[in-house]
Chains A and B, each alone.
Chain A
Amino acid sequence: AQSVSQHNHHVILSEAASLELGCNYSYGGTVNLFWYVQYPGQHLQLLLKYFSGDPLVKGIKGFEAEFIKSKFSFNLRKPSVQWSDTAEYFCAVIPLGRDDKIIFGKGTRLHILP
């Protein structure tokens, strides 16, 4: 069965530190890839997505992610985090050509210290 792994369950950083959150998936075919963010007390919203083309995608609020097909990875990065980035981050994958159901990772809680 397809799965999505987010290796870091809880990350604590100081402001201005660099961030990289890992995401790996298990599916050998074509995928659509997403990162969603859930700020405290709010609902999920899209941070960025990759369907095709340039494997380095840029999202809102200075986030970017790189799709590395050979590693089945879609890691999220930000060069300098802010306190307002405190949130839970979810990687999600749609394996195309199967049942096209989206599969979410278990999430990474990011806490930024002011």
Chain B
Amino acid sequence: NAGVTQTPKFQVLKTGQSMTLQCAQDMNHNSMYWYRQDPGMGLRLIYYSASEGTTDKGEVPNGYNVSRLNKREFSLRLESAAPSQTSVYFCASSEARAEETQYFGPGTRLLVL
């Protein structure tokens, strides 16, 4: 079991470029999440997917889109990257939303110049 995997590990973008962060889990979890982690801000939820076929906004969704491709995969897209999106992005999954132990991926460090 790989758990939660994320690609890429590191990325540098120029302002205005687009990119997609990939996340996959092999635990047959229903729910998946995208967070960003910034110094002194803790983790903030960007989007989540309670189950395959559904997505909902979290605390900081502006500038991002998501796709729950299937039960395993949940991608995060930046259509036009901005320096304010420089952050570490974590994907997580859990068996069911209300239950709630979340399993995290290794993170993607994104730098937007």
Interface residue ranges, A against B (CB under 8 Å): 9, 32, 34, 36, 42-46, 49, 90, 94, 96, 100-102, 104-107
Number of residues on chain B facing chain A (CB within 8 A): 23
| Contacting residue for B101 out of A43, A49, A105, CB 8 A | A49
**B residues within 8 A CB of A105?**
42
Candidate in A43, A96, A100, A104 with the most chain B CB atoms within 10 angstroms: A43
**A residues within 8 A CB of B97?**
100
Interface residue ranges, B against A (CB under 8 Å): 33, 35, 40-45, 48, 58, 90, 92, 97-107
Given the interface pairs A44-B90, A101-B58, the reply to whether A106 lies near B104 with Cβ below 8 Å is no
Q: How far apart are B4's CB and chain A's nearest CB, in angstroms?
A: 8
Q: How far apart are A111's CB and chain B's nearest CB, in angstroms?
A: 15
The answer to whether B98 touches A102, judged by C-beta atoms less than 8 angstroms apart, is no
Candidate in B42, B99, B102, B104 with the most chain A CB atoms within 10 angstroms: B42
| Contacting residue for B107 out of A36, A43, A46, A101, CB 8 A | A43
| Contacting residue for A43 out of B45, B98, B105, CB 8 A | B105
Given the interface pairs A102-B100, A104-B42, A104-B43, the reply to whether A43 lies near B106 with Cβ below 8 Å is yes
Q: Once A and B bind, how many residue pairs between them come within 8 Å at the CB atom? A: 46
**A residues within 8 A CB of B58?**
101
**B residues within 8 A CB of A44?**
43, 90, 92, 102, 104
- A sample of 20 more A-B contacts (CB under 8 A), given A43-B104, A44-B90, A101-B45, is A9-B40, A32-B99, A43-B90, A43-B106, A43-B107, A44-B104, A45-B104, A46-B102, A46-B103, A49-B100, A94-B100, A100-B97, A101-B58, A102-B102, A104-B42, A104-B43, A106-B40, A106-B41, A106-B42, A107-B42
Q: How far apart are B45's CB and chain A's nearest CB, in angstroms?
A: 7
The answer to whether B100 touches A32, judged by C-beta atoms less than 8 angstroms apart, is yes
Docked pose: A49 CA to B42 CA in angstroms: 18
Docked pose: A9 CA to B40 CA in angstroms: 8
Docked pose: A34 CA to B99 CA in angstroms: 11
